[in-house]
A and B are shown apart, each in its own frame.
Chain A
Amino acid sequence: MSEGYGDIRVDLQYIADMIEPGTRVLDIGCGDGALLGYLSEFKQVDGRGIEISMAGVNECVSDGLSVIQGDADTDLDDYPDGAFDYAVLSQTLQATRQPRRVVENLVRIGRRAILSLPNFGHWKVRLWLLSAGRMPQTETLPYHWYDTPNIHLCTIRDFVELVRELDVEVERAIALGASGKPLALQATGLTGNLLGVQAVFLLRKR
């Protein structure tokens, strides 16, 4: 891990560590610009962002970051192929309407794509549904079924299957446990899918 940056979200730290210094990065769903700010400060990255919430965009632009209001479903089609070294989508794919097309766009726009996802296959999620018979609510997925923005949740194995269908190579995959630490096991295997609360993927089109 890089030297500390206070309270950058744990999955963002692993994403940042996958990014080479001095590259061009598009952060889709960049929120208040925490990752972009970190990358431009510590990795001299030429960063751009897309964010759906106006408050987030205004915050970013006020901080001198290049960010547009938009969303992953509608605003990725116009970018040319290979416009960025990395296209980043953190904790957002599950909230898009067309996740498959979004992933296709990510690996098209970025020479590499980095994604982080909550894992719906985590044992607590499975147990919740099995024992209580109700829609799971966990620390990473805290919403009720009726107010969740997460309309396309998947497990790590589901995602790996999608990526395989799209002929995209998983260069790296890290499963993070409840503590936010990486698990010392293969993220894309059966146990990674059971024990990982979330996962971070480094992808590249074959």
Chain B
Amino acid sequence: MAYCTYGELNEDRSNAVLVCHALTGDQYVAEEHPITGKPGWWALMVGPGRPIDTDRFYVICSNVLGGCLGTMGPTELNPETGKQFGLGFPVITVGDMVRAQAMLLDHLGIDQLFCVIGGSMGAMQVLEWASRHSERVFAAVPIAGAARHTAQNIAFHEVGRQAIMADPDWHGGDYINHGVIPRRGLGVARMTAHITYLSEAALHRKFGRNLQDRDMLSFGFDADFQVESYLRHQGSTFVDRFDANSYLYITRAMDYFDMAMEHGGTLSDAFEGTQTRFCLISFSSDWLFPTSESRAIVHALNAAAANVSFVEIQSDQGHDAFLLDEPELNKVLGGFINGCAERRGLGW
């Protein structure tokens, strides 16, 4: 299991914050990415003086099970064969990801997390933590999440997987042994997915119908429009840092996520008797994990008489808003974390 930590664990071991990353995220939450050289994916949120203040909290972020940056996944070697797992890797669930994280905490000697926080697939892990290991979670912050993957979300994932599997370079998942990677398939998967992370308004604001490096239409199939060029760039750079089989496994884990189903159809049963303090956050323009999904979780938590806060933040940046500079997000999160820290005896 590969992970990064920031800050110092206090004497009581009570100030640990687990950050759960999204589908294509990784453990480099607040430091330069070793492959892309870009700043950490949540450097705006995690760091000294940030809402998740590393002067105050011990922050842990691990690469998920099934990932491709050091944690056990399809790119790792199968000890039995000495070759990469590839499609020989077992299908995993969000529950498995969380079980692996729980074992990491055992290893680090942390009984209870002060806070578990994450967006998108990270929010699914947060909910799983709060449901399956509630005694180990003082506060839980699922951002832009859902208690189940919707038909529309499964549909988009399936398009991505089919794009990968349709690429001849995929070789039935055995591309490494053929010395290639399914660049085109994985690139198209990323392009499709990327559209779902944005909003119509954000795309229009950023690109409109502006042309790319030209004054007039080419009347061909080059990237005439800036939005095309942008998506192609997103697709081609993604291939350099992410593994195609990992993408298959992790999207599948998200598709299988359905907390209510695992509790006899009643979502509130997943949180029965919980003492965890929840803060749910959604974004008004997020159509991938819309506010209605967060609200359904809030209703279930109310039915379980849980301590819950819920905020929908007005933003035109779509699902990706949680990764971007949203002052309202920082303010709400900072307030919630401070309030919880005071109750946990972690006040300044």
Contact = CB atoms under 8 A, between A and B. Distances in A.
From A54, A66, A68, A70, residue with most partner B Cβ within 10 Å: A68
A20 interface: no
Nearest to B280: A68
Contacts of A62: 331-332, 334-336
Contacts of B10: none
Interface residues of A, number: 21
A80 B303 contact: yes
B339 interface: yes
Contact of B309 (A46, A61, A83): A61
Contacts of A150: none
A58 B328 contact: yes
B342 A61 contact: no
Interface in A47-84: 48, 54, 57-58, 60-70, 75, 78-80, 83
B302 A78 contact: yes
B332 A61 contact: yes
Interface string A34-49: 0000000000001010
Interface stretch (B106-114, B212-220, B310-318): B310-318
A83 B307 CA distance: 11
Given A54-B314, A58-B328, A66 B302 contact: no
Contacts of A68: 298, 302, 308-310
B303 A79 contact: yes
B338 to A, nearest CB: 6
A57 B284 CA distance: 15
A62 B332 CA distance: 5
Q: Is the interface of B mostly helix, strand, loop or mixed?
A: helix
Given A48-B307, A62-B331, A75-B302, A69 B339 contact: no
B121 interface: no
Given A64-B339, A64-B342, A80-B303, A54 B334 contact: no
Contacts of B311: 54, 57-58, 61, 69
A79 B205 CA distance: 41
Contacts of A78: 268, 299-300, 302-303
A79 B302 contact: yes
From B298, B302, B305, B332, residue with most partner A Cβ within 10 Å: B302
Given A54-B314, A64-B336, A64-B339, A70 B298 contact: yes
B277 interface: yes
A34 to B, nearest CB: 16
A75 to B, nearest CB: 7
A65 B277 CA distance: 11
B312 A69 contact: yes
Contacts of B300: 78
A61 B302 contact: no
Nearest to A46: B307
B19 interface: no
Contacts of B335: 61-64
Given A64-B342, A65-B339, A70-B298, A58 B332 contact: yes
Given A63-B339, A78-B299, A79-B305, A69 B332 contact: no
B248 interface: no
Given A64-B335, A66-B277, A57 B305 contact: no
Contacts of B307: 46, 48, 66
A68 B309 CA distance: 5
Contacts of A61: 279, 309, 311, 332, 335-336
A149 B328 CA distance: 27
Contacts of B302: 68, 75, 78-79
Given A61-B279, A61-B332, A66 B308 contact: yes
28 contacts: A54-B314, A57-B309, A57-B310, A57-B311, A58-B311, A58-B331, A58-B332, A61-B311, A61-B336, A62-B332, A62-B334, A63-B335, A64-B338, A64-B340, A65-B339, A66-B277, A66-B308, A67-B310, A68-B309, A69-B311, A70-B295, A70-B310, A78-B299, A78-B300, A78-B302, A78-B303, A79-B302, A80-B305
Across chains A and B, which 7 residue pairs bring their CB atoms closest together, nearest first?
A: A64-B339, A62-B335, A68-B310, A78-B299, A78-B303, A78-B302, A61-B309
Interface of B: 268, 277, 279, 295, 298-300, 302-303, 305, 307-314, 328, 331-332, 334-336, 338-340, 342
